[in-house]
Structure 1
């Protein structure tokens, strides 16, 4: 019984310590999204041009080991693509509500810490627009006869690199690797996956 009580007490102390060290933060910046496009008949893939969008992320930083934290968050992520030929200029924008869960490792450096992170994300598209030669139209999600064949769900991996100053100010860089085909199956066998490079700033309280 005494050993059990000591174990419970140690667990409570650990939980209290983690709770005391838990912090919160917000990040925002610029996305440079594009699409990786593959077709059944070809063995390789091509990339669209990168467009410009934005992101805003709120997150919780909970230490789980020395210099290692888990960071669940909630993010508004603008993704899309851009292409241009001799006739048409096409831009696509999709706004996602994203749930990232990253594992972040801190390395002391100077007056702050370099941080590296990675983890999965799941996302749900809130809205989408295509702009062709300056004319904007709404994208209809779904696979019906009047829809545009675009899925709302996306999932993949995030990779992070940045620097956290001792005052909590953050400099962020990241890359989002979409693993889900965001298009419904079609007779051409075309698959599209999100790719997003991002830079920004933030603050951890």
Structure 2
């Protein structure tokens, strides 16, 4: 019985790969914005609010099985948050180079296009950012320094979810969510009461596919 199940699975896999070979690799780009926030564990924080984020990336989708694609992209994503502690408000904005990889499923809609849904992961590398400190009487800004002995860890990674619509005229509309799984708090932040900092981001993008 086990051998029969394996044979059936191999047949379906071969059929799926044969069908995938008839489809072309798809390319495209996306640009848009959204909201970013950081999940922070610190009992001294009075409030934690989102910032507006910008996203742009180049997308490549490889057909793998019938209706399924392996999608990867390379682009930039802004993440951060606004923290209030007593009379001090700190806004951090970090720009990452981000590489998501998703397994996509496409559902055809006659005369309109396709609905897409996917899940995967992302890897990100911090490039630059700013830290703005505001009190009732002053405002100062510094550039973010990366490293365990500085402001934040340089690398981030997590789960990436995406859904959207691909129209027959090649326009695409996408909704995405990044759930960071790496604690990017540096040692000085941990020493000052920030036990953990995790990136979160919701994005809406418009693009073209070819």
TM class, shorter-length: 0.7 to 0.9
Q: Matched residue of 1:203: which SS?
A: strand
Q: Does 1:125 align with 2:130?
A: no
**Aligned residue number for residue 176 of structure 1:** 178
**Aligned residue number for residue 207 of structure 2:** 202
Q: Is the 8 A contact 2:20 2:63 kept in 1?
A: no
Q: Matched residue of 2:51: which SS?
A: coil
**Aligned residue number for residue 48 of structure 1:** 48
Q: Matched residue of 1:137: which SS?
A: strand
Structure 1 unaligned residues grouped into runs of 5+: 1-9
State the TM-score, normalized to the length of structure 1.
0.82
Q: Is the 8 A contact 2:30 2:205 kept in 1?
A: yes
**Aligned residue number for residue 100 of structure 2:** 100
Q: Matched residue of 2:120: which SS?
A: strand
Q: Does 1:87 align with 2:87?
A: yes
C-alpha displacement of 1:141 = 1.4
Task: Provide the rounded CA distance (Å) in 2 between the counterparts of 1:189 and 1:90.
Answer: 13
Render the CA deviation track for 1:94-151: whole Å, top value 9, x for unaligned.
000111111111111241111101111111000121112353211121233xx32x10
Q: How many residues align?
A: 188
* Change in 2 beyond 3 A, CA 1:47/1:30: farther
**Aligned residue number for residue 159 of structure 1:** 161
C-alpha displacement of 1:152 = 0.2
Render the CA deviation track for 1:150-194: whole Å, top value 9, x for unaligned.
100000011001111011100111110000001134333610000
Q: Does 1:192 align with 2:193?
A: no
**Aligned residue number for residue 37 of structure 1:** 40
**Aligned residue number for residue 5 of structure 2:** none
Task: Provide the rounded CA distance (Å) in 2 between the counterparts of 1:95 and 1:195.
Answer: 13
State the TM-score, normalized to the length of structure 2.
0.80
C-alpha displacement of 1:14 = 4.6
Q: Is the 8 A contact 1:26 1:57 kept in 2?
A: yes
Cα root mean square deviation, aligned: 2.7
C-alpha displacement of 1:47 = 7.8
Task: Provide the rounded CA distance (Å) in 2 between the counterparts of 1:156 and 1:35.
Answer: 13
Structure 2 unaligned residues grouped into runs of 5+: 1-13
